[in-house]
Structure 1
């Protein structure tokens, strides 16, 4: 059922003069609907990151650890620009509603997973729903608030919703995993999603930026080439240690060929999924690069910090969740502080320097963390990372929307979100391969020194450091074989810590490159763009 959200004639000038297309009450209710939708994605990401080490320990498949995240990223990267473009033409509300339904169905399937491949497939479906959601929900905000200064004030509500989900997520993931099992971390999406569905259906207006009467052409060939290119790149990185250079180079060649074909096809296609003119835009291109670098650093941190705390330091899921909480809470606090500062300084892009610098500092600090380090120091490191991301993420979005103009709001927002996911996907693949390779090498060396190589199959999988039941059984077996089981487990734990440290150093390098690349961002003026007529159903 369509909801009539067009303001009355005598209210429209007042609303538009204030930088918003609806009166205050309607704007508030619409933003509440969008906030619940965004909470769904934020809650899912933070809850799952804490529970993932336990998931892998139960389903037995550490080789799929990174794929739980990257399967989601891969399908999201494809669907975000598709539905960003469709939202520009048809309005975003129908796709927001459809995305919630897909996301909830996939969440239920994730909670029912009986194996790691099943879970990876369900996460891929969840990524389709998440991509639809990100490609449309975030672009609803500039639809409602054309003036970027007004938009920044209203985005405090989004930051608060995001922060609530992020604040609850890590601890909630740890508590649910300990009390009810890891499956509950997926099922918790259902009530949140249903509330979001009701609010979005009732209160989010159906606004259309562009009048379009004919059918919208979808670049399915471009989507397929992106999937082949990114999928092959992912596999080439992950299979290099176990299947050798020949297979990895072959997959890399397939990836390069797919991206070359995509580039050529995008030059001829009428509505390509990869809009080349945006990559040629001197204002947008640097923001896209920073989106990739920010995604690389952020998702490597979110995915491997819980593994460091649980597997490396021996903390419980609940304790690890409490350590991750400052990170996600301070993303919100950083966004709020950023919103107060950004409109008061002559060079808004300078906040990007501060954000990437704080993120790099936090990653470097965490790469030196040890189990004996005081909790307050670890909390300070995570706080620093959160503020850094809070200074980077909202500014990249607002700057891209301001530079692209209202006619391309959806696709510009979608491209930025997609490229952030590409960075996350590539980052988790590279860091995951580095962590796995380094950990396996360290454990194998320790077992060879103790003449206990018969236990290599069980100890080269880091899940043994998280699964307490399997750990107790292994200690008994090692003792019966005449080995110092406690010492070997401690050496394995140290190997995992060193391996994750290497991965975090690589993520820190991405953040440092982000500082350097920020100089390419042209001066941004947060002024209101001319407002074309918008249709509302």
Structure 2
């Protein structure tokens, strides 16, 4: 069969090895594009903040991307179910690649946040389509697990290269190059998808293509106000602005709930949440995203700003997390079909990730690098056991007719968790660090340096750090000692900020034990 862009299959079938391989190469390149962006940005973000001066917007670089993604993922999951995924996958690669180039041109933090929001639209389109392409190609879940190892490997390669590549490129080529690297990968992805990915399309259901735009607006309003509320609450308390945000979030949530019950093709299918097992799997996906992204974004800041590592060394320290996640996915695909109780892999994964998060919370500047890398490797293996299984279990529970929206919801809710996790962790870290710096400088009568030391770029950028130390020494202060205090304050703030990740992973482990036992049913 010709697998060009003109091909259109009404029903998925088992494909010859060559067709399957070429299609999966295209899918793997797209997944690599997403994975590389996630890990490179996390490693280079402290340096970006140091140059663009915007620590108060640190969390928004992640959450702007996540907020726009989480709304677009279910939209394109539904569109893919109705019209086939290939056209939307092609469009998403173009949007994501163009937005990556815009991120590399950012001259200030606000511009970067807006460009990341556009990139999130492309990323949401990608995630809403690419992960559902795999079950379209391989309806048999056992066969799918084997081919999914290839996609997991691509994601893992991108993740493995990402932190180190991000650190090296930031150190030698500047942080802008870490966004520009998406452009050639996006072009290669586009060529493979256009040429080799078949256009699979199921029979349309009445009204299936009708998009719930009001639901999308209400969902964005709900998540946006919740995010602002999480960030402002520690600063303003239950004052006028925070109460207004709370009321807006409650109103948006209530109207969304009522509207989705009435809409014929809701963006958020409430009946799927009404299913106890699916609802539990969706909750676990949210908790996994909460813990994973908080660790991925704030461990590099602790390593660079708190421990004094270079971007390259911080990238190397993070690398085992993403390398081991690939190994874990491959092992999972081999082991799980042989188990009488596949749920055991999910339990083991959450337990390992909880231990890894606890290890990072307990780490200090004197912790040997090999021990940090071991904690990251344990966490990576845990993620490799958790993420693919959540997707497989949800797909099996939802059935073929709702494959796209079910897969999209898993990814969306993981990003909702990530958005809330990074916002909460960012708020805790920012407030605790700034408060500690203020108290120390007030005690030392050195408040003239409060604004610059409140921004961790003083701990990351050697030039800024040396300037501050020199100025303080001339004024009779021990600048080097204050820098060391700032490092300790940042480490302590991140330790407290990451405690919720430990609790989230531990709670997910506890809740996962109440899931019914899954069995992988072969489909021919």
Q: 2:96 aligns with which of 91, 103, 117?
A: 103
Q: Deviations 1:91-128 (Å, cap 9, x if unpaired)? A: 00000000000001100110000110100000000000
Q: Output the CA distance in 2 between the equivalents of 1:364 and 1:357.
A: 11
Q: 2:177 aligns with which of 184, 202, 208?
A: 184
Q: Deviations 1:209-260 (Å, cap 9, x if unpaired)? A: 2335878211111000111110001011112233442112221221121011
1:3 aligns with 2:22: no
Conserved 8 A contact 1:112-1:183: yes
Conserved 8 A contact 1:333-1:390: yes
Q: Deviations 1:257-307 (Å, cap 9, x if unpaired)? A: 101110000000011101011101122111000000000000000000100
- Give the aligned partner of residue 391 of structure 2: 397
- Give the aligned partner of residue 535 of structure 1: none
Q: 1:168 aligns with which of 161, 164, 175?
A: 161
2:385 is paired with a residue of what secondary structure? helix
Q: Output the CA distance in 1 between the equivalents of 2:324 and 2:172.
A: 27
1:130 aligns with 2:123: yes
| Structure 2 unmatched ranges of 5 or more | none
- Give the aligned partner of residue 485 of structure 1: 479
Q: Output the CA distance in 1 between the equivalents of 2:205 and 2:227.
A: 37
Q: Output the CA distance in 1 between the equivalents of 2:46 and 2:210.
A: 42
Q: Output the CA distance in 2 between the equivalents of 1:374 and 1:210.
A: 57
1:388 aligns with 2:382: yes
- Give the aligned partner of residue 70 of structure 2: 77
- Give the aligned partner of residue 495 of structure 2: 501
Q: Output the CA distance in 1 between the equivalents of 2:47 and 2:250.
A: 36
Q: Output the CA distance in 2 between the equivalents of 1:213 and 1:397.
A: 27
Conserved 8 A contact 2:458-2:465: yes
1:456 aligns with 2:450: yes
Conserved 8 A contact 1:6-1:22: no
Conserved 8 A contact 1:234-1:429: yes
1:301 aligns with 2:304: no
- Give the aligned partner of residue 145 of structure 1: 138
User: 1:81 offset after TM fit, Å?
Assistant: 0.2
| Structure 1 unmatched ranges of 5 or more | 532-537
- Give the aligned partner of residue 325 of structure 1: 319
User: 1:181 offset after TM fit, Å?
Assistant: 0.4
Q: Deviations 1:487-531 (Å, cap 9, x if unpaired)? A: 1111111000000001121110000110111023222111035x7
- Give the aligned partner of residue 49 of structure 2: 56
User: 1:448 offset after TM fit, Å?
Assistant: 1.8
Q: Output the CA distance in 2 between the equivalents of 1:134 and 1:210.
A: 22
Conserved 8 A contact 1:3-1:202: no
- Give the aligned partner of residue 35 of structure 1: 28
Task: Identify the range of structure 1 (235-244 vs 272-281) with the bigger mean alpha-carbon deviation.
Answer: 235-244
1:203 aligns with 2:196: yes
1:282 aligns with 2:276: yes
User: 1:463 offset after TM fit, Å?
Assistant: 1.6
Q: Output the CA distance in 2 between the equivalents of 1:497 and 1:224.
A: 38
Change (3 A) 1:525 1:171: same
Q: Output the CA distance in 2 between the equivalents of 1:338 and 1:26.
A: 25
- Give the aligned partner of residue 65 of structure 1: 58
Conserved 8 A contact 1:76-1:128: yes
Q: CA RMSD in A?
A: 1.5
Task: Identify the range of structure 1 (291-300 vs 440-449) with the bigger mean alpha-carbon deviation.
Answer: 440-449
1:520 aligns with 2:514: yes
Q: Output the CA distance in 2 between the equivalents of 1:301 and 1:214.
A: 41
Scaled by the length of structure 1, the TM-score of the pair is 0.95
Conserved 8 A contact 1:363-1:504: yes
User: 1:3 offset after TM fit, Å?
Assistant: 3.3
Scaled by the length of structure 2, the TM-score of the pair is 0.97
Q: Output the CA distance in 2 between the equivalents of 1:500 and 1:242.
A: 18
Q: Output the CA distance in 1 between the equivalents of 2:207 and 2:272.
A: 24
Change (3 A) 1:158 1:351: same
Change (3 A) 1:415 1:67: same
1:156 aligns with 2:149: yes
Q: Deviations 1:389-446 (Å, cap 9, x if unpaired)? A: 1110000001100110011110000001000000000000111100011111111121
Q: Output the CA distance in 1 between the equivalents of 2:245 and 2:108.
A: 26
1:222 aligns with 2:215: yes
- Give the aligned partner of residue 241 of structure 1: 234
Q: Output the CA distance in 2 between the equivalents of 1:322 and 1:262.
A: 44
Task: Identify the range of structure 1 (312-321 vs 438-447) with the bigger mean alpha-carbon deviation.
Answer: 438-447
Write the mapping of 1:410-425 to structure 2, written as runs, cut at 5 A.
Answer: 410-425=404-419
Q: 1:370 aligns with which of 351, 364, 377?
A: 364
Q: Output the CA distance in 1 between the equivalents of 2:261 and 2:207.
A: 22
